[in-house]
Amino acid sequence: MRTIKLLVLTISLLFASTVFAQKFEELALTPPMGWNSWNTFACNVSEDMIKEMADAIVESGMRDAGYEYVVIDDCWQIGRDSLGFIIVDPERFPSGMKALADYVHSKDLKFGIYSCAGIKTCAGRPGSRGHEYQDAYTYAQWGVDYLKYDWCFTEDQNAKASYRLMSEKLREAGHPIVFSLCEWGTYKPWEWAKEIGHLWRTTGDIYACFDCVEDHGTWKSWGTMQILDMQDGLREYAGPGHWNDPDMLEVGVGSLTDNENRAHFSMWAMLAAPLIAGNDLRNMTEEVRKVLTNADVISVNQDALGIQALKYKADNGLETWFKPLENGKWAVCFLNRNTEPVKLNFDWAANIVNDEFAKRIFDSNKTTYTMKNVWTGKKEGSTKKTLSTEIPGRDVLMLILNED
């Protein structure tokens, strides 16, 4: 084993000056779907818990709904050996990461892991700085399919160079890995990360609150509506294989209500955002399970065009969003950000939407559409008539429109 590790170190030095190899192509052609440990468990991760989550993804129907990545976030690592190779916590992961990855794969799921571009992770564990190829090689040997790469303890590092370096080393290690950049949007990764990674965080950390801010003193975490507002101006950068990431889902976490869970999930679907759940899948309510596995909402998120929704109108807390879908379809979402119900009267004929980025025009005067309510599963008539209804507080009316 020592001989193999020394060989890897030698290879790492030989590759240090190679020309940058781009990320693995043909991955994440639709927004990644899966589960991550951080939002509920933080550092309280273990082999047994991850296995139970993998089992729950299968048993709950989430795997069949499209969720495939099981991602361990921070705190699985405790140090490095004398050659610099990462050491897995032997008490929490006694069988090792290769065996755990094999278990996840046996469930027809994919395995993800976490590291950081700095010298330490955000929880103070060993980061990957100076060990990029060693870590990439190790992940490849374990069978890792997804890497979330954070941005703590980076001192004077250049973000683009640091993420590009790890992307290069992942490619050299030879095992296809979805690369998730997590530098919180500080250096506008949407402008430079398309060739480096498959998704990039656009904001600071999300918080399990519909409309509020959690102040930590030197930094803040954001409610779902604050995160949503931060996506303005970013839709042109998203598409198959390269996604804006407004952070993981808080559906079923904290005190979010059923209405708020629906609204949160709907808007992430409209944004073509990665759908990475973070709740305890072993004991979620049936309502939370129904939100996370709603096939129609997921179909909007996973649409092959990969176009992020356009915010068409906002008026007194009621927003109207249009998302072009393949085969001439549209998704339309009316979001009520108010705590109280609001009346909706939407005259389709009077609202012609010219989506210049998508090169699509919605004009019900020329094309009539039938409407399906994605949350009730019911047909809602057609765009020939004004849409008149009431939307509950902090909820949505989300429709899929098909050409009649």
Q: Which residues are catalytic, by number? A: 150, 205
Give me the helix-helix angle, 97-106 and 132-142, nearest 10°: 40
Strand partners, 206: 222
Rounded Cα distance between 257 and 307, Å, is 28
State the DSSP H helix or E strand holding residue 401, giving kind and residue range, or none if neither: strand 395-403
Strand partners, 362: 353
Q: How many CB atoms lie within 10 A of CB 188?
A: 15
CB 74 within 8 A of CB 114: yes
Rounded Cα distance between 282 and 60, Å, is 9
Reported in sequence order, the residue ranges of 59-106 that DSSP labels E, i.e. its strands, are 69-71, 77-80, 86-88
Alpha helical stretches, state H, 147-303: 159-173, 224-229, 258-270, 286-292, 295-301
Alpha helical stretches, state H, 23-96: 38-41, 47-59, 62-65
Residue among 345, 368, 21 at smallest CA distance from 166: 21
Q: How many CB atoms lie within 10 A of CB 382?
A: 16
Question: CB neighbours of 70 closer than 8 A, spacing ≥ 6?
Answer: 34, 35, 50, 53, 54, 57, 104, 109, 110, 111, 112
| Backbone φ and ψ of 79, nearest 5° | 175, -165
Question: CB neighbours of 242 closer than 8 A, spacing ≥ 6?
Answer: 28, 193, 194, 197, 198, 199
Question: CB neighbours of 347 closer than 8 A, spacing ≥ 6?
Answer: 386
State the DSSP H helix or E strand holding residue 15, giving kind and residue range, or none if neither: helix 2-15
